[in-house]
Structure 1
Amino acid sequence: FVAKVKIDKPATWQQMFDDAWRTMKYRFYDPNMHGYDWDAMRARYQPLVEFVGDRQELLNIINEMIGELNASHTGAAPPPGGREGAVQTQHPGIEFTADEASGRYRVAHVYENGPADKDWVKVRVGDYLLAVDGRPVTARDNLWKYMHNQRLNRAMTLKLNDRPSEDGAWEARIEPVSTAQYATLRYERWVKERREMVDRLSGGRIGYLHIRAMDQTSLRKFEKELREFRNKPALIIDQRWNGGGNIEQQLLAILVQREYQIWQPRGTEPTERPFAGYFGRKIVLQNWRSASNAEMFPAGFRALGLGKTLGTTTMGAVIGTGSYSLIDGSTVRTPGVGVYLADAKRTNMENLGVKPDIEVENTPEDNLNGKDRQLEAAVAELLKELGAK
C-alpha cells in the first residue's frame, strides 16, 4: 500500500511563521513583550516568508523576529536528529602536542579513566606518534582528520615510540570515545587540578567543589562532596561555566541549614546535625558564563546571607522556558516564567546579570598560562575570614 501526499511548502512555511509569532505573543512571560509592538514585528517580517527557499531560511527569519525581544531562552530550531553518515570526531583520550625538533606529535597527557588509561595500552607522556590506523602522521598534518567514526574497526590503532623513529615502535589499540565523553574527561581533569590548587594554597584547610550543571546528576555529586568536606572549616563552591538547569532551591535548602546538635559516639569523631548540612565559611565563584539557574543560585546565596560571591558579573539570561512544536517538528522555545529578586523593586533578573561581591577577572593571559586568579582570590578571602574567626 502506497499513499502519496503533496505538500504545499510555501503554505506550510507561512503557517509555521504565523504559529511561531502567535506562540510568542501568548506564551512570552512579559505580556508587554519587553516594550515592543509584536503586531508590528509580524508586519515587518511576514512579507519575507514569500521568498523562503527551504526550512532553514524560514527559521532564520523567525529567529530574526524573536531576536527583537532581546530575551534569552528563545529561538526556533529544526527537528532533532543528526545527519545520517555524518563524520564525527573521536578521541583516544590522549592530548598531543607538535614537536618542532622531530616533526612529530608527542603525547602531552593521558586522561585518567580515559580509553588510553588501561593496563593493556602502552603509552606514556613524551612518546612520539608515528601513525594512525597504518597511515603515517607528521606534525604538519591535521591530526584530527585521522580520528573519526568512518573507520571499519571500532578500535583505533596508534603506532608509538619513545623516539621519533620506526626502530622499536609498537602499536596500541584504543577504543576511542565521542566528543561528549572527551569533554567529560577534560572537565574532570580541570576540576582535579583546581582541587589540588586549593589544597596547596590553603594547606588543606579549604574544600573545593564544582557544580557543572543545574541538574540532578550535579545535585547528587554536590551532596556527596559536601559530606566529604564537612570537616573542613571553609569551602569554595565553584559554578563558573555552568549553563543552568533547575536545582538552585535544593542547593540553597542544604546550605541554609544551621547546626543545632552534635552527636559524639564513644571512640569516634563527633557528627554535627543535620548531617546533610555544611556549617563552615563559604564562597561562591561565578563568571560571565554562569547562566540562568546558575545566576539564581549566587543571587539566592547572597540574599540568604550565606557568604560572599567572587568573580565577574553573570550572563543575565534568567527566564523559565518551555517548548512549542511547529507542524513539521521544528520547535520554538517559549519562555513563560519570569524570575524576579525579592527586593522592594521586584527586580527582573532577565538582562540584569548578578554582580559579585568581589570582582576578579581571569585574563586571556591567565588562561594561557594555567593561572586561575579567581580561585586564588577565593582561597585568600576564605583564609582571611578564617584568621579573623
Structure 2
Amino acid sequence: LDDMELLVDPKVEWQQMYVDGWRILRDWFYDPNMHGMDWDGIRTKYEPLVKHVAHRADLDYIFGEIAGEMNAGHIYVQSGDQPAVERRDGGLLGAEFKREGDAYRVDKIFQGETWQAAFYSPLAAPGVDVSVGDYIVAVNGVSTAGAQNFYQLLENTGGDVVTLAVNDRPNARGSRDVMVRTVTSETQLRYLDWIEDRARRVDELSGGRVGYVHLPNTAGDGNRELFKRFMPQMNKDALIIDARYNGGGFIPDRMIELVSRRPLNYWKRRGLEPLATPAFSHTGPKATLINGYSSSGGDAFPYYFRKLGLGPLIGTRTWGGLIGISGNPSLADGGSILASTFRFMDTDNEWAVENEGVSPDIEVVDRPELVAAGEDPTLEAAVRYLLAELGKTPPVKVEAPPAPTDF
C-alpha cells in the first residue's frame, strides 16, 4: 500500500470528524448524562463554526471548546494529519557556562547517570577531559570569540559528536581538542540535580536522620525513583516523600503499598541483627509534600497516604484530576479526542478529588521569591515537623531477647 493515494476533500473530512468527535464523547464519557449537558444542543451550538475551518488546527480549537463544556479533566484533543515543520535539535552538553572574555567557562557539570540514556551527561562521560573551571574556546573549529551565545555554536548538532577546543585559560593558545557526543535535552539531568540537592538539604537539616524520596510521576520514572531511593533509606528515622510536580500516570496502589509496609515479624540469625518480614519497610514518621502540580496519580498518592494514616500532607492543594482515560476510537485522519472513561469515588460512595484536589494538613506556600533565593519552604517545614515527631517518640531499636534455655 506504499504507493496508494487517496483524494481527500478537507472540508468534507472536517465535517465528518466534527460529528465523529461529538459522538465519541457522547458514547465513551463515563457519565451517560454528560454531566447534565444538553449534548444534542452542544452539537448544534458549535456545528456552524465547522464551515469556517480553514486549517486542521481550527478544528482542534472547536474540539477544545466542546471538551471544555464537559467540566471534567483528562479530555484531550490530539492533532491529526496536518503540515509540520521538521525540528532540528541543537546540541547540549549537560553543563552551565559563563562568558569570560572571548571564551566560555565551564561553571557546572551535571553528573547525571551515564548508564541511562535519558540521564547521559556528555562532559561527565568516562574519558572526557573537561572539568569545572576549564574554558571552551572553539566548537567544531569555530571560535567562541564572535559568538553572541554559546549555544549558537551547537546549532543542528543534537546527538552528534562535536569537537571542543578546551583550555585552562580563556584563549586558544595551548588548547586541547575533546570530542563529545551532545544530547538534545537536559531536562532529566537538571531534574536529577534538583533531587540530589533536595536530598542533601534534608540530610544536612536533619543531621542525617531524615530520608528523602521524590516521585516525578506514578508511571515508570516514579516507580524507578521509589525503588531506587526508598530501599537504601528504609533505616532512616523518618522519611519525606516528595510528590510535588508529580505528573501522574498509573494508579499508585503498588507505590503506596511499598511506602505503607509494616514489619509482620522479625527473624534472628546468629551474629546478625533481627531481620524483618517484609524485608523492605519503614516504621518511622513520614510526611508527603504536595503542590498544585501534583496531578492525576499525583492526586491519588497523597490521598492514599492520608487514608492510610501514614502522616501529614504538607504544602498546597493538589491539581484535582482524578478522572481517567482508557482509550477510545480515533478520528479519520489519525487525530483523536480522548474521553474520560472512569472517575474516582471514595469508600463512602461519594465523588472525591476530581475538580477539587487534595488539601494539605499543613499549608506551606513555596513563595516564588523564596524559591528564587534558593529556599524550599515546604521541604524545610517537613524536616522541622519530622524532627519534632522524633523528639516526641524516639525510634526504638529492635533487639532479640536471650535465646530460650528452659524447655
Relative to the length of structure 1, the TM-score reads 0.91
Amino acid at match of 1:327: A
Residue 106 (structure 1) aligned with residue 105 (structure 2): yes
Partner of 2:64: 63
CA distance in 2, matches of 1:134, 1:39: 65
Partner of 2:261: 257
Deviation string, structure 1 residues 348-372 (Cα, Å, up to 9, x no partner) = 3211011111111212222222211
**Which structure 2 segments of 5+ residues have no match?**
114-120, 394-407
CA distance in 1, matches of 2:230, 2:271: 24
Partner of 1:275: 279
Partner of 1:374: 378
Of 145, 163, 166, 2:152 maps to: 145
**Which structure 1 segments of 5+ residues have no match?**
none
CA distance in 1, matches of 2:77, 2:342: 18
Preserved CA contact (<8 Å) 1:263 1:271? yes
Counterpart secondary structure, 2:18: helix
Residues 122 and 83 (structure 1 numbering): CA distance in 2 closer, same or farther, change over 3 Å? Answer: farther
Counterpart secondary structure, 2:339: strand
Give the Å deviation of 1:239.
1.3
Partner of 1:39: 40
Preserved CA contact (<8 Å) 2:97 2:104? yes
Amino acid at match of 1:279: T
Of 115, 123, 126, 2:122 maps to: 115
Residue 341 (structure 1) aligned with residue 346 (structure 2): yes
Give the Å deviation of 1:336.
0.7
Preserved CA contact (<8 Å) 2:324 2:343? yes
The root-mean-square deviation of aligned C-alpha atoms, in Å, is 2.4
The percent of aligned pairs where both chains have the same amino acid is: 38
Residue 159 (structure 1) aligned with residue 165 (structure 2): yes
Counterpart secondary structure, 2:51: helix
Give the Å deviation of 1:134.
2.1
Give the Å deviation of 1:3.
5.0
Amino acid at match of 1:328: D
Preserved CA contact (<8 Å) 1:283 1:307? yes
Counterpart secondary structure, 2:163: strand
Of 333, 336, 356, 1:331 maps to: 336
Amino acid at match of 1:118: A
CA distance in 2, matches of 1:254, 1:306: 12
Deviation string, structure 1 residues 171-203 (Cα, Å, up to 9, x no partner) = 221101121xx2111111111111111111111
Residue 238 (structure 1) aligned with residue 242 (structure 2): yes
CA distance in 2, matches of 1:328, 1:204: 56
Preserved CA contact (<8 Å) 2:56 2:82? no
CA distance in 2, matches of 1:154, 1:358: 48
Amino acid at match of 1:158: L
Give the Å deviation of 1:141.
1.5
Residues 283 and 322 (structure 1 numbering): CA distance in 2 closer, same or farther, change over 3 Å? Answer: same
CA distance in 2, matches of 1:98, 1:201: 34
Residues 259 and 150 (structure 1 numbering): CA distance in 2 closer, same or farther, change over 3 Å? Answer: closer
Residues 106 and 81 (structure 1 numbering): CA distance in 2 closer, same or farther, change over 3 Å? Answer: farther
CA distance in 1, matches of 2:132, 2:9: 60
Aligned residues: 383
Residues 3 and 91 (structure 1 numbering): CA distance in 2 closer, same or farther, change over 3 Å? Answer: closer
Matches within 5 A, 1:1-389: 4-79=5-80, 85-99=86-100, 102=101, 104-112=103-111, 113=113, 114-138=121-145, 141-150=148-157, 154-179=160-185, 182-323=186-327, 324-343=329-348, 346-389=350-393
Preserved CA contact (<8 Å) 2:102 2:171? no
Counterpart secondary structure, 2:171: coil
Residues 95 and 83 (structure 1 numbering): CA distance in 2 closer, same or farther, change over 3 Å? Answer: farther
Residues 96 and 83 (structure 1 numbering): CA distance in 2 closer, same or farther, change over 3 Å? Answer: farther
Give the Å deviation of 1:224.
4.1
Preserved CA contact (<8 Å) 2:63 2:337? no
CA distance in 1, matches of 2:231, 2:213: 11
Give the Å deviation of 1:250.
0.7
CA distance in 1, matches of 2:5, 2:81: 25
Residues 28 and 198 (structure 1 numbering): CA distance in 2 closer, same or farther, change over 3 Å? Answer: same
CA distance in 2, matches of 1:98, 1:146: 14
Preserved CA contact (<8 Å) 1:104 1:139? no
**Deviation >6 Å, runs of 4+:** none
Counterpart secondary structure, 2:160: coil
Amino acid at match of 2:128: V
CA distance in 2, matches of 1:129, 1:67: 50
CA distance in 1, matches of 2:319, 2:330: 27
Counterpart secondary structure, 1:307: coil
